[in-house]
A = this chain, B = another copy of it.
Amino acid sequence: MNNNMSPAGSLERLRALDKERMHISRAAALLQWDQETFLPSGGIEERAEQLAVLEGLAHEKLVHREVGELLDRLSDVLSLNDAGMLLNTQDGFPVGDFIRVLRRDYEKAVKIPVDFVRECAKAEGLSQAAWVEARKQKDFTAFAPHLEKMLNFARQKAEFWGWEKSRLYDGLLDYYEPSLGVKELTAIFGPLRDRLQLLLRKITEKPRPGDVFLHHNFEKAKQEAFCREVLSGIGFDGTRGRLDISAHPFTTTLGFNDVRITTRYAVSDPLSGLFSVIHESGHAFYELGLDNALQYSCLAEGTSMGIHESQSRLWENVIGRSRAFWEPWFSRLQDCFSAELGETDFDSFYRTVNTIVPGPIRVEADEVSYSLHIILRFELEEKLLSGKLEVNELPEAWNAGMKDYLGVECTDDAEGVLQDVHWSMGAFGYFPSYALGNLYALQIWDTLNEEIGPVDTMLQRREYGDIHSWLKDNIHCKGRSKEPAELIREVTGRSLSADSFFRYIEQKYSELYGI
């Protein structure tokens, strides 16, 4: 490195290195997208090797000594001078945030020894394979030793990152959602759990509404056509993204103007594919709403898992399952499936898409049950990481929690403790972000309504422009330049709580179920 480089020169060099790494990461993301959508089965094995090479290259670029030196030098400059001096030269690029976020990424990566990463990756592969097999056999015991290993790796990771032994789970949570640790989450999730549990009990005492989708086959090609109509109708720009099919729906960013979503269709349910499309488009709107100044930098992404999930759940549930949203769309759905739904009245349809039925499977859960699934996982993760719960005690604790929170009996481990892939990959601390998404979503939605609402008239007219503008200006455009805690305070005027979310749930479902 040239030691006489000016601060501006150093910044330019650091941004060039960051940009190159982003390009490699996005190329890797394309390899992954293709793997889930179009890759011929014969190509799977080699694809894994190609991905490992690109991910390795991106990692090398991130932990390169020059990156560390440039970060140090620029941090010194920023602490000596007013950051504004540099900022002014950067066309609205937030230099201070860039240094902060890149330093965090750099340190997260550089603190983990290469040998450990390699060992982890190998163990993860074995663990996932064991999980697949154990799930097939519906037997937790075969997976237990792998889970033990994954827990130890996760603990070590948090230690490498510098967390005290007593706060390792905080370290993992922080990776996905900065500044929301065990203490904060317990304070939010505990009371929410009790309120949801009570509401759910009241709902399940009421008669269950009929299912208007029963006894029909909904042709997949027609579903896809309807999905594309809705997707375009809610404002997804087809010149900046795509919709394809994969086994598990996902969103991936392949470029600043290339964000792709996927879904899958079930003939028995004309809306499960659609709700995935709307969910993923919420993620995509976030990534497509970034400020141009952030392009090609590490800031050009959503700021946290929880905020990301807030955008997808806002669109899927708060908007996508609302009465006002469906008022104009229901007749279009009827046009597509006239034989199947021509005679259905709107009210029955609306009840069907908002039916509450607690069940064992998280990904099929309704709006009331969903957060309870997550809170249980959070509590179990906390106990596992801190050693309060042994791995072999997990299935029993799981089943007891499901019975207690949701009134559900798991018939076997496959639909119980083995249902999710996350733990087999060592992704502890990830689950809470799903529930946080719900809470952020409603807190943001309340503010949006105060500022531009009520939005029901807009939804009834299929006018989504003001909603998009508000979300873009207040959330999306900022990318990673704002930490989630700061973002939510700035946007909504208060720290995260479950109040907005529970009020929304209580009001909507009390009305629907006559409670």
Seen from chain A, the residues whose Cβ lies within 8 Å of a Cβ on chain B are: 20, 23-24, 26-28, 30-31, 34, 38-43, 45-47, 49-50, 53-54, 57, 237-242, 244, 254-258
Contacts and interface: CB of A to CB of B under 8 A. Distances in A.
Given A53-B23, A53-B24, A257 B40 contact: yes
Contact of A40 (B24, B45, B241): B241
Contacts of A50: 23, 26-27, 255
Contact of A257 (B24, B43, B237, B254): B43
B238 A40 contact: yes
A42 B242 CA distance: 11
B54 A27 contact: yes
A258 B54 contact: no
Contacts of A53: 20, 23-24, 27
A54 B53 CA distance: 11
20 contacts: A23-B46, A23-B53, A23-B54, A24-B54, A27-B27, A27-B28, A27-B54, A30-B31, A38-B244, A40-B238, A40-B240, A40-B257, A40-B258, A41-B239, A42-B237, A42-B239, A42-B241, A43-B258, A46-B258, A50-B255
A254 B39 CA distance: 10
B256 A46 contact: yes
How many chain copies does the complex carry?
Answer: 2
Given A43-B258, A255-B43, A255-B47, A242 B27 contact: no
A31 B57 CA distance: 17
Contacts of A54: 23-24, 27
Given A24-B54, A27-B27, A46 B242 contact: no
A39 B26 CA distance: 13
B256 A40 contact: no
Given A43-B258, A47-B255, 15 more contacts: A23-B49, A23-B50, A27-B53, A30-B30, A34-B34, A40-B239, A40-B242, A40-B258, A42-B237, A42-B239, A42-B240, A43-B254, A43-B255, A43-B257, A46-B257
B46 A255 contact: yes
Contacts of A47: 255, 258
A54 B26 CA distance: 11
A444 to B, nearest CB: 27
Contacts of A43: 240, 254-255, 257-258
A54 B58 CA distance: 11
A26 B31 CA distance: 10
Contacts of A240: 40, 42-43
A83 to B, nearest CB: 28
Top 7 nearest A-B pairs by Cβ distance?
A43-B258, A42-B257, A46-B255, A42-B240, A23-B53, A43-B255, A23-B50
A23 B41 CA distance: 18
A239 to B, nearest CB: 5
A241 B43 CA distance: 8
Contacts of A258: 39-40, 42-43, 46-47
Contacts of A23: 46, 49-50, 53-54
Contact of A34 (B30, B57, B256): B30
B38 A242 contact: yes
A47 B39 CA distance: 20
A460 to B, nearest CB: 30
A38 B38 CA distance: 11
A258 B20 CA distance: 27
